[in-house]
Amino acid sequence: PRMLKVAAAQIGAVNRDADKKETVQRMVKLLEEARSKGVQLVVFPETTFTTFFPRFLFEDPAELEKYFEQGDDITTNQDVKPLFDLSRSSKIDMYVGYAERTDDGRGFNTCIYYSGQKGRILSKYRKIHLPGTKEPFADPEAINQLEKRYFEPGNLGFKAFRAPDLIPGVAKKGDIPAEAKTIGQGDPILGMMICNDRRWPEAWRMYGLQGVELIMVGYNTPWNAKHLFGFRKPMTDEQAEAEAYYHHKLVMEANSYMNACYSISAARAGYDDGKFDLISGSAIVSPNGYTIAQAKTIEDELVTADIGLDDCRQGKETTFDFDRHRRTEAYSLITSQ
């Protein structure tokens, strides 16, 4: 049944002045825990190596640059290398999110799928749905979300890929499926998103149409950013927090169900600098839309589950058999506007 032991590696507070090497050591510790538990695939959050810096306006470009990882391939960068070394020696595959400064100087909110089995990057995704604003809010008390200022929208599309050797003994299909008409066979078909992408059904369906069996998402989600959420209605802090958790769970469960795939979501959680709130709620969701494992804390925490990828077949061959039931002639508005 193509069984796989997977984990979301939630990371708690990371302060503005945190030492990157120490943050990487926290990730290493979770990867070691994963190894001791026999986990084969670990998902880390969005921009994991630093605090979620788009909440700040940087006047000094040199200061901003400290939060970016330099280069097209970051796996040998000195501060972060220990994580990739451990992934290789443990043969554990990883999803890792980080702020990317490309060789030609462009900025993206990026994640990579690093194969511990193969010792190389198998796939890269750059965040397409960048939330927030380009300009800071006038209100000095407001918490900014300057992703549109610091990053370009992702330019790599939503590209599903296969993970060879992740599950021993399955028929080999190569790294990249052109299209996936081979449901329930071969190397797992994976997809990656970053944070705000998970709220967009179009992103999920792009992967669903490629036969995706497991979607990985890292996120930084504040629950009290009133300027971002538009002051929709008067709310207590307690209500605002509950709603942010609710929407996270809602989109992970609903979209996993509607695309008949597993999902793993990993939070950068807790109170950065003791005050900037981020929800936890890292979770693993089944293709039938049920949360099967969930974080219990807002700290560093490994959330694990044993999943059977063939469980995706039920949805993919019945209610969500796209070839039989989709009505594309009625959907043109979705891409024309």
Site string for ligand CDT, 143-172 (x = CB under 6 A): --x---------------------------
214: phi > 0 → left, psi -120 to 50 → alpha, else beta; which?
beta
Q: Is 312 a catalytic residue?
A: no
Of 87, 88, 109, the closest CA to residue 99 belongs to 109
Site string for ligand CDT, 252-291 (x = CB under 6 A): ----------------------------------------
Site string for ligand CDT, 68-87 (x = CB under 6 A): --------------------
Q: What residues between 24 and 43 interact with ligand CDT by CB under 6 A?
A: none
* Dihedral sign computed on CA atoms, order 220, 224, 225, 229: positive
Place of tokens 């200022």: 149
Binding test (CB under 6 A) with ligand CDT, winner from 131, 136, 289, 308: 131
Please name the residues in contact with 90: beta carbons below 8 A apart, sequence gap of 6 or more: 31, 34, 35, 116
For 61, phi and psi rounded to 5 degrees? -60, -30
Site string for ligand CDT, 184-223 (x = CB under 6 A): -----------xx--x-------------------xxx--
How many positions of this chain bind ligand CDT (CB under 6 A)?
A: 11
Active-site residue among 69, 127, 301, 312? 127
Decide: residue 292, CB within 10 A, 0-12 exposed, 13-18 middle, 19+ buried.
middle
Active-site residue among 111, 195, 261, 312? 195
228 binds ligand CDT (CB under 6 A): yes
- How many angstroms separate the CA atoms of 189 and 286, rounded? 15
Strand ranges inside 151-273, DSSP E: 161-162, 189-194, 214-219, 262-267, 270-272
Q: Which is nearer to ligand CDT, 172 or 275 (CB)?
A: 275
* Dihedral sign computed on CA atoms, order 118, 121, 123, 125: positive
Q: Is 195 a catalytic residue?
A: yes
Q: Residue 215 CB, nearest distance to ligand CDT (Å)?
A: 15
48 binds ligand CDT (CB under 6 A): no
Strand ranges inside the chain, DSSP E: 3-10, 41-43, 69-70, 93-101, 107-115, 120-126, 161-162, 189-194, 214-219, 262-267, 270-272, 276-278, 283-285, 291-294, 301-308
Q: Is 226 a catalytic residue?
A: no
Q: Which is nearer to ligand CDT, 44 or 219 (CB)?
A: 219
Active-site residue among 46, 69, 147, 213? 46
- How many angstroms separate the CA atoms of 116 and 203, rounded? 26
Q: Residue 228 CB, nearest distance to ligand CDT (Å)?
A: 4
Q: Residue 131 CB, nearest distance to ligand CDT (Å)?
A: 4
Q: Which is nearer to ligand CDT, 68 or 84 (CB)?
A: 68
- How many angstroms separate the CA atoms of 185 and 188, rounded? 8
Catalytic residues: 46, 127, 195
Give contact residues for ligand CDT (rule: CB under 6 A).
Answer: 46, 131, 145, 195-196, 199, 219-221, 228-229
